[in-house]
Chains A and B, each alone.
Chain A
Amino acid sequence: MEAAMGLMRRMPPKHTETALSALLSLLPDHSSDLLSQIDQPLQVLCDVDNAKEFILCEYNRDADSYRSPWSNKYHPPLEEGIYPSAELRKLEIEANEIFTVYHGSKYAHGKRGYLHEGGWEAIHVIQVGPEVQGMAHYCLTSTIMLSLTTNGDTSGTFNLSGSIRRQMKADLCVEDGHLCNMGKMIEELEGKLRNQLDQVYFGKTKEMVCTLRPPAELLPMALPDARKP
């Protein structure tokens, strides 16, 4: 398993899906571990009842069907599918409504990008411990996957892609409600991850390029070529 994760750390992020399915076929006994520890690019399906799209992931999958959070129905239909309890379902409905608004406020929807093509995906998984004296333990695992491609006649192809994953734990008062607590944590961690991707990860790869072939202004004074006028 450790070696498998090692491989995933090195394979090109744009080939994550191929690498994951290769590992699944080599290590069928570890499939649950692999699927839960390796985030793959998300796919969406349309909920037939609501004509709304929903995301397919490990967390709403049972056998080969995916449960839509909008209608609570499995697509394709599944007999004996597992459903959340009434209380959890209520939380799920609220959460999806709130996060739809959050998403609308934070992500510029389907905008056209000049010369750029790319995708940004965020997966947040939160575990909430039982309530003890008005406090609950929250553990948030966030993964951001991003891919940017530039194509141009003068600059060739430029692809920068990758994923980072971080965890955040907190004990918070449940008075404000789980959703409020979870939302704040997600917003905070997502912001941190975004800055890290931008400044640390993209910065590091840029630094590497400039180490390989430093731009003229960083070079120690080049010796003047005596043969040229």
Chain B
Amino acid sequence: MIFGCVLHIHMLYVSIPKFLKSQRPSRPNNNIITMADTEEQEEEQIDEEIILLTEEQKLDIAKWFLLNSPPGEIQYVATDLRSVLNDDNVYQKAASQAFPLYNKSHIVCLHFPNRTGEVLVSSYSELSEDEYLDPRTAQVGKVDHVRQVCTQIRPAGDDELPSPYIEEYRCALDVEVSKYVGEAYPKGVSSVYCTSGKDVEDYGSDFELVVVITATRHSPQNFCNGSWGSIWNVEFKDEQQTVEVRGKMQVSAHYFEEGNVQLDAKHECRDSTVFQSPEDSADSLANIIRHHETEYLTSLQASYSNLPDSTFKELRRKLPVTRTLFPWHNTVQFSLTKDLTKELGIEK
């Protein structure tokens, strides 16, 4: 496959900032949240300049910042946002709405208060807005979203857990996946949930399990954070005697020492296997997951190693065509541009 594209490279442009600034302060021309694409829009914006933001707009902006926090950085963003907003009502409201969404989409892992285990906050484990199930220990953790802590645990009720038939499949898969995660991720956490057909008692019906794997690394002292998350939907189809697998992997990294560089990578894939006993299914499913995740890591590394070679060279040559530094010294002697272009061998 070939994907054509155009590289946008802008020219260097020299101007004299102090000169303009000292005489007349620049007037901000984009005073509302949406950026203008056309001139008409820009004119409209100027009319709105005087109008103060409504509470609703402030709330939307606040939520936007919180939800766009890189992995593991929402608390820092919240602190800065609070001081920029300077409006605690709006902040509290935004936090109470955005944190649960952030925690679920980033699959935040919270320790039980007694440290006997942990619960993953995700839409698959969600029983109510602040209660999340850990199927491995059959416990339910009560979560304080804004503080990002698990405050209490209680045993899960029978109606919250899958039937013994489903639990056999779930538990077998959980064991195999945990084994794989333990080997492949130095700090990985995994969990397996039943998302459909949890009350199926015996052969003859479809059901669905979801495998969630997450690994995060936060080292603010090194100005670096990152996360790996994968979600595997596993559909057991009784009639066809097959198991359909859909995987989504997402990797992000943020390095911010005197700058801000972020990696955001995603990949989706599909696979299938045959419907077998709980142990055999678990074994082949864990192998499928291991295979695709390893392959994806390899492709990520390939993307990185292609960067300096192809992409960077295309964008910016390390040295000009003449393989020498730019002849700044001689520029005055040239009748500008023409001779210089000749000199550099870039005549067009």
A residues contacting B by CB (< 8 A) are: 3-4, 6-15, 17-28, 31-32, 35-36, 42, 44, 53-55, 57-64, 69, 82, 84-85, 88, 91-92, 94-122, 124-127, 146, 148, 150-166, 176-177, 179-180, 182-184, 186-187, 191, 194, 197-198, 200-202, 204-216, 219, 222-223, 227
**B residues near A119, Cβ cutoff 8 Å:** 7-10
* Closest CB pairs A-B (n = 8): A156-B267, A162-B261, A164-B259, A31-B28, A208-B226, A105-B320, A95-B14, A205-B253
Residues of B83-141 whose CB lies within 8 A of A: 83-85
Interface size bucket, B side?
A: 35 or more
Contact (Cβ within 8 A) B35 A209: no
* Interface of B: prevailing SS: mixed
Contact for A62 among B24, B76, B328, CB less than 8 A: B24
Count, A-B residue pairs, CB within 8 A: 388
Contact (Cβ within 8 A) B32 A10: no
A106–B249 Cα distance when bound, in Å, is 38
Contact (Cβ within 8 A) A10 B14: no
Q: Which of B144-152, B193-201, B232-240, B300-308 contacts A (4 or more CB under 8 A)?
A: B300-308
Contact (Cβ within 8 A) B310 A116: yes
Contact (Cβ within 8 A) A32 B26: yes
B residues contacting A by CB (< 8 A) are: 1-21, 23-35, 42, 46, 53, 57-58, 61, 64-65, 68-70, 73, 76-77, 79-81, 83-85, 183-188, 215-217, 224-228, 249, 251, 253-256, 258-268, 283, 293-294, 296-304, 306-308, 310-318, 320-322, 325-326, 328-329, 331-332, 336-337, 340-341, 344, 346, 348
A104–B31 Cα distance when bound, in Å, is 35
Nearest opposing residue in chain B for A76, CB measure: B39
Contact for A3 among B83, B256, B318, CB less than 8 A: B83
Contact (Cβ within 8 A) A25 B32: yes
A-B contact pairs, 26 of them (CB 8 A): A7-B84, A15-B68, A21-B34, A27-B84, A31-B31, A36-B21, A59-B16, A82-B23, A96-B13, A105-B320, A107-B9, A107-B317, A110-B9, A112-B5, A118-B7, A118-B8, A120-B9, A120-B315, A124-B14, A155-B299, A160-B264, A205-B262, A209-B253, A211-B226, A212-B215, A212-B217
